[in-house]
Amino acid sequence: MSSSFRFTIEAGDGEARAGRLETPHGVIETPCFMPVGTRATVKALSPRELEEAGAQVILANAYHLYFRPGAETVAEMGGLHRFMSWELPLLTDSGGFQVFSLGDTARVDDEGVEFRSLYDGSRHYFTPEESIRVQELLGADIVMCFDECAPAGAGRERLERAVARTADWARRCRQAHAREDQLLMGIVQGGTERDLRRESARRTVELDFGGYAIGGLGLGEERAAMVETMAYTAALLPADRPRYFMGLGDPAGIVDAVAAGIDMFDCVLPTRDGRNGAALTTSGRLNLRNARFARDDRPLEPGCGCYACRRFSRAYIRHLVTQKEILGLQLLSLHNVSFLLDLARKAREAVLEGRFEAFRGSLSFRAGEPGDTDQRKEQT
Amino acid sequence: MSSSFRFTIEAGDGEARAGRLETPHGVIETPCFMPVGTRATVKALSPRELEEAGAQVILANAYHLYFRPGAETVAEMGGLHRFMSWELPLLTDSGGFQVFSLGDTARVDDEGVEFRSLYDGSRHYFTPEESIRVQELLGADIVMCFDECAPAGAGRERLERAVARTADWARRCRQAHAREDQLLMGIVQGGTERDLRRESARRTVELDFGGYAIGGLGLGEERAAMVETMAYTAALLPADRPRYFMGLGDPAGIVDAVAAGIDMFDCVLPTRDGRNGAALTTSGRLNLRNARFARDDRPLEPGCGCYACRRFSRAYIRHLVTQKEILGLQLLSLHNVSFLLDLARKAREAVLEGRFEAFRGSLSFRAGEPGDTDQRKEQT
């Protein structure tokens, strides 16, 4: 970890931990939910709204920004922070997941991946070095290794290949990466195979990254297998580095991740649900299109401090949603992001106060709902 | 005018005037641009953003709210102010314009209008009394008489009929209207015919309304004829009552209206342009889709104090617009509304300081662009 970064564990409670990651753009207190801003914007939310909701770090995506508006353009405009007017920490995903999942013509070999652009069908070639070059141009505080993510239901051989290639590419990313003001994270693959996760963790950790991510889960496997693999893999990672579970952030998932010793997680669920007219609440997911809300004067979540809950009723938001008014999806997106940020913050407080299990037991989210799959696909 | 309202002229400069209209929800300083929130929301903007931009009064529409969510529902939720969480003054349009312009099956007689709902095709019957009943349920501070608006290019006979019927309906609205906390405005019709405008003004003014609106312009006639008729008609209205020009609010139009002695005007232009990727600026209308903005680091309007201009570049907003990101149309809508609010405020200051003609001369808007037609049709 370069001197621009420092990760401190403040408290532990079982496997759960509370920490702080210092970055050039400020401190990230963990556990921490990271809203997803794929194309340099968290859909329907302004930076100001995100700041007020307590977002500490936002995700963006190297694949999408490489094509639109182009990494060079972002760099010329002063880098991603300045371009999107977000002064707090940023994380960019490497584009690895998108290269494999968006479009059906990706051709991979040990050197890199040839694929067609989602935007105009043109052919492109991504390598670990190219991903790092793009991420250095973008200039996020935290950047990710370019990995191979095997698809859902991949067989043993395919998983083995992804583990080997991800490790080799991690080495090349480590080598290529030069910016001292960026924390580079390695990614552990291996599906739900314990020995492959062990092998992948060993090979990634020996490269000594500033932090470690768990990829390749939430792709359609059973939820129990995902949670078990998440916990198993987290325990293989060095305790003194931040751990990031990629693409999981439904309410139940956040709590499971914290329990497994994960520090950071991201998910498009809150904004996607918001655009679809749904609200995340402690009593489950509310579909605001439902006629039962037509004269419901309560806020989305009684007691919630977000702008949507402070000022508007379910009845009004239902009216906006059914009339396809943009303010409706803005308010729902804001509430949903606030809800997950609050949940992570409460989990952190519980860990700091040594009552995480009691906190976990007090929640009534049902496992498996809503949105327990990898949400990165929405980035298409 | 009931005792809940008071209109004071603070200064005059030529025909232009600066005034203040006291209402139960606060003071409206005139000249004043009113953002349009047809369905109880100004498209893509939150009440907080509108407050910060300096909006003093917002328009909503009785026709649309009658159908969705229903005037009784709004009343049950505490009225329109509470329903949409807007604590400042509100104005509702009567639905007259919509009944005639939305759909082709309206059947009008002296009693009222039978028409099909835009929402589900069901048959409905609106009368002056029904419009007042709906507007009383909604509870805006300023409400409008139910009028007959003759279409663009209507012949003399049709205009005469609209003038006669509008006057008769104004009398019935006056009779039906009971809420002391609402200011009822009469509407003057008559196309571009001077004698009909005079007749319509005479018959409306003799009913002694709290304010007077000029309707039936901006429907496709020549701009010069519109401006001339606006000025002619404004001069027929009592100086001690607010004057409202319905459905005109492009930058050049605002200045023309103030010069003619108009106090209030509304337009969907700023939010519609915003959703279409255009910005209103002192140097004209910018189409943010244009590639020339791809690396333009300047704000939409240098010197503008709105949130969009304080924090974001044209390059970023262009990126959002071309990628169909919701934040793009939010920022453009916010800027455009702020721009027109600022313009009206500056016109007011110029009147107060006796330099309105110099102010008018300093502006470079070209007459006739953008959007010099009645914009109420967007309310469909």
The pLDDT tens digits of the residues spanning A4-53 come to: 999 999 999 999 999 999 999 999 999 999 999 999 999 999 999 999 99
Contact B329 A326 (CB under 8 A): yes
B209 and B326 part of one domain: no
3-class SS at A323?
A: coil
Rounded Cα distance, A348 and A54, in Å = 14
Closest residue of A to B83, CA-based? A316
Choosing from B272, B299, B318, the residue where a domain stops is B272
Tell me if chain A has a CB within 8 Å of the CB of B50: no
Based on the fold, state whether residues A91 and A166 are members of the same structural domain.
yes
The nearest alpha carbon in chain A to B75 belongs to: A295
- Residue B47 inside a domain? The answer is yes
> Does any CB of chain B come closer than 8 Å to the CB of residue A117?
no
How far does the CA of residue B137 sit from the closest CA of chain A (Å)? 15
Chain A (322-341) residues lying within 8 Å, Cβ to Cβ, of chain B: 322-323, 325-327, 329-331
Determine whether B291 is exposed, middle or buried from the number of CB atoms within 10 Å of its CB (0-12, 13-18, 19+): exposed
Residue type, B271: T
Confirm or reject contact between B39 and chain A (CB < 8 A): yes
Structural domain includes residue B375: no
Is B367 a domain residue? no
Q: Is B365 helix (H, G, I), strand (E, B) or coil?
A: coil
**Phi then psi dihedrals of residue B189, to 5 deg:** -110, -170
My answer on whether B181 and B283 are in the same domain is no
Chain B CB within 8 Å of residue A272 CB: no
* B255 vs A3, more confident: B255
Enumerate the H helices of chain A as residue ranges: 47-53, 62-67, 71-76, 80-84, 96-101, 128-138, 156-176, 194-205, 223-234, 251-259, 269-275, 307-311, 314-322, 326-352, 356-362
Q: How many CB atoms lie within 10 A of CB A57?
A: 25
Q: Which of B252, B272, B292 is the last residue of a domain?
A: B272
To the nearest whole Å, the CA of B82 is away from the closest chain A CA by 9
| First CA to last CA distance, chain A | 32
Q: Which residue in B73, B297, B329 is closest to A295 by CB distance?
A: B73
Q: Which pLDDT value is given to residue A134?
A: 98
Which residues in chain B have their CB less than 8 angstroms from residue A307's CB? 46, 48
Strand A264-267 versus strand A32-35 pairing type: parallel
How many CB atoms within 10 Å of residue B224?
Answer: 11
In a domain, residue A349? The reply is no
| pLDDT confidence bin for A289, thresholds 50/70/90 | very high
Catalytically annotated residues of B: 93, 266
| Closest-CA residue of chain A to B327 | A44
Same domain, A261 and A305: no
What does DSSP say about strands A142-144 and A90-93: parallel, antiparallel, or unpaired?
A: parallel
- Residue B369 maps to a domain: no
Q: Please check whether residues B242 and B332 belong to one and the same domain.
A: no
A135 pLDDT more than 90: yes
Indicate whether A101 and A240 sit together in one domain: yes
Which chain B residue is nearest to residue A298, measuring alpha carbons? B77
Measured between CB atoms, does A40 come within 8 Å of chain B?
A: yes
Domain co-membership, A45 together with A188: yes
Domain final residue pick, B239, B272, B305: B272
Peptide bond into A69 cis (omega under 30): yes
The answer as to whether A350 is a domain residue is no
Check CB contact under 8 Å for A315 and B40: no
Residue A306 backbone phi and psi in degrees, to 5 = -70, 160
Statement: residue A164 has pLDDT above 90: yes
How far apart are alpha carbons B17 and A80 in whole angstroms?
48
- Chain B CB contacts of A44 under 8 Å are 326-327, 330
Say if B144 falls within a structural domain: yes
Is the Cβ pair A297, B330 closer than 8 Å? no
Strands B16-23 vs B26-30: parallel, antiparallel or unpaired: antiparallel
Say yes or no: B293 and B218 in one domain: no
Q: Kindly list the catalytic residues of A.
A: 93, 266
Walk along chain B (380 residues) and give the pLDDT tens digit of each residue. Answer: 778 999 999 999 999 999 999 999 999 999 999 999 999 999 999 999 999 999 999 999 999 999 999 999 999 999 999 999 999 999 999 999 999 888 667 899 999 999 999 999 999 999 999 999 999 999 999 999 999 999 888 999 999 999 999 999 999 999 999 999 999 999 999 999 999 999 999 999 999 999 999 999 998 899 999 999 999 999 999 999 999 999 988 999 999 999 999 999 999 999 999 999 999 999 899 999 999 999 999 999 999 999 999 999 999 999 999 999 999 999 999 999 999 999 999 999 999 999 999 999 999 875 444 433 333 334 33
Q: Among B58, B314, B317, B327, which would you mutate to test the A interface (most chain A Cβ atoms within 10 Å of its Cβ)?
A: B327
Residue A186: closest CA among A209, A154, A202: A209
Interface test with A, best of B316, B322, B335 (most A CBs within 10 A): B316
pLDDT grade, residue A238 (50/70/90)? very high
Q: Say yes or no: B364 contacts chain A, CB-CB below 8 A.
A: no
Which chain A residues are closer than 8 Å to B307 by Cβ? 46, 48
- Rounded-to-integer distance, Cα A318 and Cα A325, Å: 10
Print burial letters for A115-140: b (CB count within 10 Å at least 16), e (below 16). Answer: bbebeeeeeeebbbbbbbbbbbbbbb
pLDDT tens digits for A273-283? Answer: 999 999 999 98
Task: Please indicate if any CB of chain A lies within 8 Å of the CB of B117.
Answer: no
Both B197 and B306 in a single domain?
A: no
Share of chain A above pLDDT 70, in %: 95
Question: How distant is the Cα of A119 from the closest Cα of chain B, in angstroms?
Answer: 10
Mutate to test the interface with A, among B77, B275, B379 (most CBs of A within 10 A): B77
SS3 B114: strand
**Both A264 and A284 in a single domain?**
no
* Nearest to B184, CA basis, from B176, B193, B194, B195: B176
Q: Are residues A36 and A142 in the same domain?
A: yes
CB-based contact (8 Å) between A63 and chain B? no
3-state secondary structure B263-319: CEEEECHHHHHHHCCEEEECCEEEECCCHHHCCCCCCCCCCCCCHHHHHCCHHHHHH
* B307/A39 touch (CB, cutoff 8 Å), yes or no: no
How far apart, in whole angstroms, are the C-alpha atoms of residue A62 and residue A133?
10
| Total tally of structural domains belonging to chain B | 2
The values of phi and psi at residue A4, to 5°, are: -75, -10
State the complex-level ipTM: 0.96
Interface mutation vs chain B, best among A138, A296, A323, A332, most B CBs within 10 Å: A323
**Cross-chain Cβ contact B294/A69 below 8 Å:** yes
B329: in domain = yes
Q: Is B321 on the interface with A (CB under 8 A)?
A: no
Cα angle A344-A345-A349, degrees, rounded to a multiple of 5: 115
CA-based nearest residue in chain B for residue A319:
B69
Dihedral of the alpha carbons of B313, B268, B156, B211, in degrees to the nearest 10: -120
Q: Is B68 on the interface with A (CB under 8 A)?
A: yes
Residue A369: is its pLDDT beyond 70? Answer: no
From chain B, the residues in CB contact with A84 under 8 A are 316
Question: Residue B154 maps to which CATH number?
Answer: 3.20.20.105
Are the beta carbons of B46 and A323 separated by less than 8 Å? no
Reported pTM: 0.96
For residue A24, say if its preceding peptide bond is cis, omega within 30 degrees of 0. Answer: no
pLDDT(A123) > 60: yes
Residue B19, both tokens: 């005034």
Model confidence band, residue A102 (pLDDT cutoffs 50, 70, 90): confident
Q: Are residues A144 and A241 in the same domain?
A: yes
Domain range for residue B217?
6-272
Judged by CB atoms closer than 8 Å, whether chains meet at A73 and B327 is answered as no
Q: Are B320 and A43 in contact (CB < 8 Å)?
A: no
> How confident is the model at residue A151, as a pLDDT?
87
